Each structure stands twice: as structure tokens, then as C-alpha cells.
Structure 1
Amino acid sequence: MILEVNELTQLFPKKQGAASDQIQLGSVMTDSRKTAKQSLFVPIVGENFDAHDFLGDAIKQGAVATLWQEDQPLPKLTPTDFPVFFVEDTTKALQQLASYYLKKVDPVVVGVTGSNGKTTTKDLAASVLQVKYKTHKTAGNFNNHIGLPLTVLAMDPETEAVVLEMGMDRAGEISVLSKLAEPSYAIITNIGESHIENLGSREGIAGAKLEITEGLSEEGALILDGDEPLLQEQNSKNWTVTCGFGDELDYQAEILQLTDESSTFKVGEQSFELPMAGKHNVKNATYVIALAERLGLSPQEIQQGFQQLQMSAMRFEKHEGHKGSLIINDAYNASPTSMKAIIEVVSQLTSKSRKVLILGDMFELGEQSEKLHQSVADAIDEKIHAVYTIGEYSKTISDAVDKQYPSIETHHFTEKQTLSHHVRKNLTADTVVLIKASRGMKLEELLENLVD
């Protein structure tokens, strides 16, 4: 971020101190425990904390100005010349500042949402676009009403394209993000079951994801899963681009070969190789091909972008495990749809013959939690050798597998340590272990015992 303090007076006229000075702002600080020289301190008010208590610490860490909620008293020791901009709500002011900065930098804006695959699609899109454009993307899980503005404000002023992941857990949240970002291109990867507890049904989830169109520019395009019936009413709209495997889609993928390390497929007459396993990732790639073509990239440039892909952490993250085993950590998050998809990938792996699943609870499924957990068992057959579960609801998965396939070893654990010791002692050079659950289960902690 490159701004000057005096620019903020256009947005926040109520001020004190040297607010009209040309003081350089290089970043935004929300955590006063971290050093950030020449930063703007934005104290966020949460359910259990209020960062207004830490202005002094923020100044020591490098803050040179602050947004300040006007109903909060300023600390008495605040320097009289320290620039303070008074606002009604610091979170909304942060969003307002991000919107201003986005318009100032003026990159092509790509918004990505969906129940599953949005982080993979974001990473793919950024990797491809950076072949031709200076590209910025959402880091980690900075995809909500605070994280997205921070992502925008972290942009280099020379950025030509920005890929913004948009997450939510209830209706109305993506609307806020879309209106802030005003994307030129919006991607909806799929409609799953995540957050069904708050949204009631897959129809409700689809409606919440479609909020991404509320800020979409009139000349923009909505790129979506053409195989999803809940999105098909969008197909008649001029801005809609359909992708997937079905007939009569704008971008129809045909699988040519799936291996442990890559996926080869065709879209139209053009072949591509993706350095990722899994049919679901091929569909994610079709969204990116549709996007890239609209931004003037050639098939060769798109392929170059695929080859230089760098994935976010804990997404099909491979580790060499004890005794030469393969441990796949996909513990960042989970829903029934994503869990089934990755089980299918592991089932098809040829490099290891003994396949072990460690599956934990999936959150925010509400009254349908037991049924949706049990549905995961539909993706498991005798290609899998062992299924270990941990958590409150995941036991329904191992119970269902045990009932249908008695030859598969199943066991439900209540403690991670007991689970990891059991798995470790049975590891061989021919074993692959998948770890998958919702973020709150923190199953990546198992790696400590499984990876030497």
C-alpha cells in the first residue's frame, strides 16, 4: 500500500493532529503486537476484544496514524500531533479505505467464491494471470469482511490484476465484499453443504454465493459451475460463462489422463496439463481458462501459469512420512463434497497400494450433520484399506463403512495422540494417509508424529 495521511481527509473529514500532512503510509496495522513501520493503525472491535486499548503499543510498533471509533475515548498520552481520523465504525472505515485504494490502483478485479475449491481456483487464477500481469491475491484465509480489505490494502500500487477470495458463513456477507471490490470477473466454483446450518439448504447457499454478482461490473462476466442445477437459471444471462463436464457448456472439459501427480485434459481442441491430481481440480482449471482467455492470455501462457502453480498451505500438502510413507495433509477445511472428492483422488493413486483415511468432523452442518457425515461413506470402497475417524459426528462415517465393507479396517478415536500412535506403528513404505477435517479439528497436529 502506498498512501499519504492527507489523502484520508477525503474519506474521513473528522480529524485531529497532523492529519493534513504528507506522511507516508506503507501498510495497515490491526495487530499492535507486530511491528509495521509507517502504518495506519485500525483498531478492530470484536466480540471478546477491543484493539482501541492498544494505541500506545501500536505507535511503538510503527503506527503513524489511526482510524478511531468516535465513541471511544482517546488515551490521554496520545501525542497531540498524531493524526487521528474519527469514524463511526473502524471495520466499515477499513472497508471504505480499501474501496478507495482499489479504485486508485485500478487493477482488473477477480472475485472467487464457492463452497469448495475457491482457494485452489484463486491460486490457479493468480498463477496464470501473473504470466502476463503483475498480480496480487488473497493470502491464507483473508477472505472475510476484514481479511478482504486487508488483502486489497496490501497491494503494490503497480498491481495490474488482483484475485480476491470471498468467503462467508451467512447470507449478506458476500454482498458486502462484492460491492466493495466491484469485480470485473466473478467465479462461483460450486454449491456444496458448507454453512448449511446458517443458510438452511443448498438453495440458500446458492443464493448467498450469487451475491457476488451484486458488485459485478456491467461489462463483467460471471464464470460458474455449469453442471450445478442450482446455478442454471443464470445461464440465460448475457454475462454468464458455464464451465464443467456437461454437454453444451461454454467450456467443456474432457479428461485424457489422471495420475498421482497431474491431470491431462482438453477444453475444445486445446490440451492442458495440470500439476494436480483429481477430476474436481480439472473443473477448477476450466474456470481459470475461461477467465484467462477473456484477459488475452494464449493457451501456451495458460499452460505456463499452470506449471508454476504455488498452492496455499494444507491443501493436498504432501509429506514424506515415517518409514517412507506418504502423508497428505488436507486439513485446512472440509465439507461432504470436498471430502468425497479428495477420497476419490486418494482411491485412484497408484504410487502407494495401502490407503488410509483419517477423517474428522465437518462443522456448520446443523440438523443435517449426522446424515451428511454418513454420506461420506458413499465415496469409500475396497480400494481403501483403513478408515479412522475422530470427533463427535465422524463416527457415523466409520460405522457406515464397517457395515458395508467389513474387510476395511475401521476405528473411531477420541484422542489425537492415540490415533496418531496407532497409525504410525502401521505405516509402511507402501502406505498413503489422507488427513481431512474442518479447520477447527486441527488435525494437522497429527503430522508431528507421522512425519519424521
Structure 2
Amino acid sequence: MRLNEKQIAACTGGQFAVEPMDARVLATGLAWDSREVKPGDAYVALPGERVDGHDFVAAALRAGAVCALVMQPLPSEVLALARELGAAVIEVPDTAHAVTDLAREWRGHLKGRVIGITGSTGKTTTKNLVRDVLAAAHTVVATKGNQNNELGVPKTLLAADPETEAVVVEMGMRGAGQIAQLCSFVRPHWGVVTNVGESHIELLGSRENIARAKAELLLSLPAASGMAFLNGADDMSDFVYECSDLERWPSTAVCFDGSGAYDAAGCDVSDWRRRPAVWAEDVSLDEQGRPRFTLCARGFSEGWPPDAPDDLAVERQECALGLRGAHNVANACAAASVGRAFGMDLATVARALAKSLPEAGRQEVLRARGGFTVVNDAYNANPDSMRAALTTFCALDVPGKRIAVLGDMGELGDFAAACHAGVGEHAAALPLDRLVCVGELARIIADGAERAGMDAGRIVRAESISDALGDLDVCVEPEDAVLVKASRFMGLERVVEGLVN
């Protein structure tokens, strides 16, 4: 972001409580945590449940903020400090909305391609893979962590320079219309939908409604130059395709498929899966659960529609991921399809995929002092990611016991019992030596596993994190491996900390 205070006031509907000493000074960043303010930032005072950002305006100004956006009068001593430092104070109707207003204004200055990513699972991992692939040949700004909400999305746009070649924006949602609202100011050129699962089913009521909400991203793409990337192996992608009205510009639908079963010849000529596509062949996992496969692509060099679709040359490149789990092959194919659409060759794409590593809390493999392995996947969970994590965990080469510590999954509403029971059934079919379930809903995982045939002696129903750690302290031995996974609100990172330390 590079906007002066008068531009900021104009686009946010603000009025100056303190005029800037020098109207030519540009705000070059944005912060709403006064502890993170850097010289040149615009500070946004956000009200919160525990603290009010207005109480920290003085700290932000002292840290070098060139202006502060507020929505209530400030004490006279704070205004005097702003004048002394030459900073502006701008009163706006709503500081949270002001962040969006700034992003909407700044979006008009960006010359690069903006890529939106959403999906029920894998969107953060896919965003990271797309970032890492494109960064091998282009300048890239991408969403940090999973800051994919009403504040994180505009902050991503504001972090880009006008000359940034690719801006990769992860978009989360909890209800219908939220992705459309984000797209109203993100204005993506391309859109990636990783899949449609069961997360957020509590609010939306069905996978069809979840698919409609995800399709809002693709509906926002420009008809003349937009490009939609869809998961050819996901059973809801045809529905997303129909909801997105992609037939209006059929040349821009791109298929990615990490299932290992993609068959272009078996698709009808009119099927969007036959169009430019990236897929995986000969998928296998090494002893650490990391995928190895042949990365394939067709239809990018020749353009679409070709004169003879069946004669399109297939590009192939051996690929090995640094990430664990067969489910990440689909995420890698999604990233590869974006890179190939950018004009990157498959060899460069494959090298970038191999270097991409997981974030903390997402399939993070740690070595505990006791000599055993901890797989920290406690960042978040839904039924699809829980099953994938269990499958990946059981593919690891573990000399000792495999122990899974699972907690509650949120936002499932009336479907919670069935979803948790389904995870238990999946766990029972895997070579787990012990299943520790923490939380009220996690007890249903335990019940589902027991009903599906897991020995009751291998199942622990823990009332609390301390109970779980007590059980693990007794049973975990060197050369064992422990998976920890739950929704964020369960705080199972404390189990990870207790095990590692």
C-alpha cells in the first residue's frame, strides 16, 4: 500500500481530527495491533471483546504510524501527540469497514494477476503451494497463515506493490454471500476451488449449499479473461461448474486431479475435464508418507479448443513432495495447474513443489525428548481433513506404536454426531494401536470406532487435556508416533507441547 492521508480519508469516508503535517507522506503498510506497527504504517483502531484498539493509538503513533483511523473521539493528549509527531488522525464511520475500503481503493493500483483460492479443505496448503510455485519465476504476495477473513483478505491486497506479478488470496467463509462480498473488492482474475466437503455444514445445511457458496468465487471472475481451476476428482465439481455458469466462457475451465485415476480419453468431448488439465500418475508414498508421482499436463501450450483434442501432447515430469499425505497430491496438482497457466514449465513447477514445506500445526513432524515422534496437526479439523490425517499418519514407517489423539470438530451442527462417528469408523479400519479421544464430541469418535470393531482396550475417552497427557505419559515409548488433531478451539496444541517437552 502506498496511499497518502488525503487519499485514505477520501476512500474511507473519513474526516481529519488531526491534519497531516505533510500531505505528501505515504502510508506504506497497515496494522491493527499496536505491537506490530512499523514506521510508515497506517494504524487502524479496532474495537474488540477484550481490548479496544483506541486505547493504543498513542503507542502506535510512537511506533511510527503516519496516521491513525479511529471511530470515536480521542483524548486531547493523544491528539496533541499526533500533532507533535506530524501524524494524522482520521475519524471514519467504521474502522473495520475502512480496512475493506482501503483494499478496494488499492486494488485499482495492482497490475498483476489476482488469484482467489477457496475450498472446504486444503485451501491454506494449496495457497502456500501456489505461492511457492509462482515465486520460482515471479514476484508474489500471498495470504499469511490462514488470514482469510474480512480483515485478513484486504490486508493481503494491501501488502502487494503495484508491480507485484501475482497476488494469491485465500478466502474463507462461514455462510452464503461471504465469498461474494470478499470478491467485490478482491476482483480476482483466476479462481481455485480445492473441493467441497462438510465444513460449515452447520450454517449452510447441505453440501449443495456449500458448493453454491464456493461457486461465488468463480461467478466473480471476468468473463473475457477469467480462469477457473476445479478438482476433477471431487464429486461436487460438476455441481460447482454448473452453479458458476462456466459454460458462458468454456475455454477458461482448468481441471486438476490428484487421484491417480484421471482419464482424459474417458471424458466426453464437451466435458470440462478434457480441457487444459494437470493430473498425477503412478502415485506412491515413501516411508515418511511423502507422495511421489508423475506430474502430467496437457492443453496449455496448444490452446483450447485444439483441432484434434485426442492428439494433444502430454507433458510429464517426475515430482516428489516435501508435504506428507496422498491428499496433498491434489493440492500440488492445483498449484501446478496455476503455474502452468502462468506459462511456467513443469520441471520448474516440480522443483518448487518439492521445496514447499508445511506450516506449524499442519502435519508438522516433531521429535520429542522421549525419543518418539509427534505429528502436530492440531491447527484445525473437519471430517475430511481428519480422515486424511489419519490415513497419512498410518502410512508412516513407525517402528513402535501408532497413537492418535483426536478432539472435537466444530461447525457441524445437527451433522456433528454422524460426522464424528464416521471418523471413528475410519479410525477403526486403520492400523492404530491406541485412540485417545478428548472432548464431548470426540467421545462419539470413540463410540464409532468401538462399534466398527476396534478393541475397546485400545480406546481412551479423556475428559480433559491433562487426562489425555496422563494416559500418554504412561503408554508412549521411544520409537512410537503420536498424531494430534482437532478443531482449533480445543487447544490440543497443549498436548503437543506436553509431549514434546
Tell me the equivalent position of 2:7: 7
Deviation at residue 254 of structure 1 after TM alignment = 2.3
Q: Is the 8 A contact 1:2 1:157 kept in 2?
A: no
The reply on whether 1:186 has 2:206 as its aligned counterpart is no
Tell me the equivalent position of 1:18: 19
**3-state secondary structure, aligned to 1:434:** strand
1:330 paired residue among 354, 374, 377 = 377
The CA RMSD measured in Å over matched residues stands at 2.2
Tell me the equivalent position of 1:406: 455
**What is the correspondence of 1:68-83 to structure 2 with a 5 Å cutoff?**
68-69=70-71, 72-77=72-77, 78-79=79-80, 82-83=87-88
**What is the correspondence of 1:19-418 to structure 2 with a 5 Å cutoff?**
19=20, 21-46=23-48, 50-69=52-71, 72-77=72-77, 78-79=79-80, 82-156=87-161, 158-218=163-223, 219-233=225-239, 234=241, 237=247, 238=250, 239-244=252-257, 245=259, 246-247=262-263, 248=267, 249=273, 250-259=277-286, 260-268=288-296, 269-270=315-316, 271-380=318-427, 381-403=429-451, 404-406=453-455, 409-418=458-467
Deviation at residue 6 of structure 1 after TM alignment = 3.8
Normalising by the residue count of structure 2, what TM-score does the alignment of the two structures yield? 0.84
- Relative to 1, partners in 2 of residues 1:267 and 1:46: Cα closer, same or farther, differing over 3 Å? same
Moved more, 208-217 or 161-170: 208-217
In 1, the alpha carbon distance for the partners of 2:333 and 2:445 equals 32
In 1, the alpha carbon distance for the partners of 2:490 and 2:472 equals 18
Q: Is the 8 A contact 1:256 1:265 kept in 2?
A: yes
Deviation at residue 56 of structure 1 after TM alignment = 2.8
- Relative to 1, partners in 2 of residues 1:38 and 1:196: Cα closer, same or farther, differing over 3 Å? same
Tell me the equivalent position of 2:308: none
Percent identity over the alignment? 32
- Relative to 1, partners in 2 of residues 1:12 and 1:339: Cα closer, same or farther, differing over 3 Å? closer
Q: Is the 8 A contact 1:243 1:252 kept in 2?
A: yes
In 2, the alpha carbon distance for the partners of 1:230 and 1:382 equals 26
Consecutive unaligned residues of structure 2, counting only runs of 5 or more, are 268-272, 297-314
Q: Is the 8 A contact 1:37 1:61 kept in 2?
A: yes
- Relative to 1, partners in 2 of residues 1:451 and 1:23: Cα closer, same or farther, differing over 3 Å? same
Deviation at residue 151 of structure 1 after TM alignment = 2.1
Moved more, 92-101 or 130-139: 92-101
In 2, the alpha carbon distance for the partners of 1:213 and 1:45 equals 33
Consecutive unaligned residues of structure 1, counting only runs of 5 or more, are none
Looking at both structures, which has the greater relative contact order when contacts are Cα pairs under 8 Å and sequence separation is at least 6?
A: 1
In 1, the alpha carbon distance for the partners of 2:362 and 2:282 equals 22
**3-state secondary structure, aligned to 2:33:** coil
- Relative to 1, partners in 2 of residues 1:214 and 1:62: Cα closer, same or farther, differing over 3 Å? farther
* One-letter amino acid of the structure 1 residue matched with residue 448 of structure 2: A
In 2, the alpha carbon distance for the partners of 1:87 and 1:382 equals 56
Normalising by the residue count of structure 1, what TM-score does the alignment of the two structures yield? 0.93
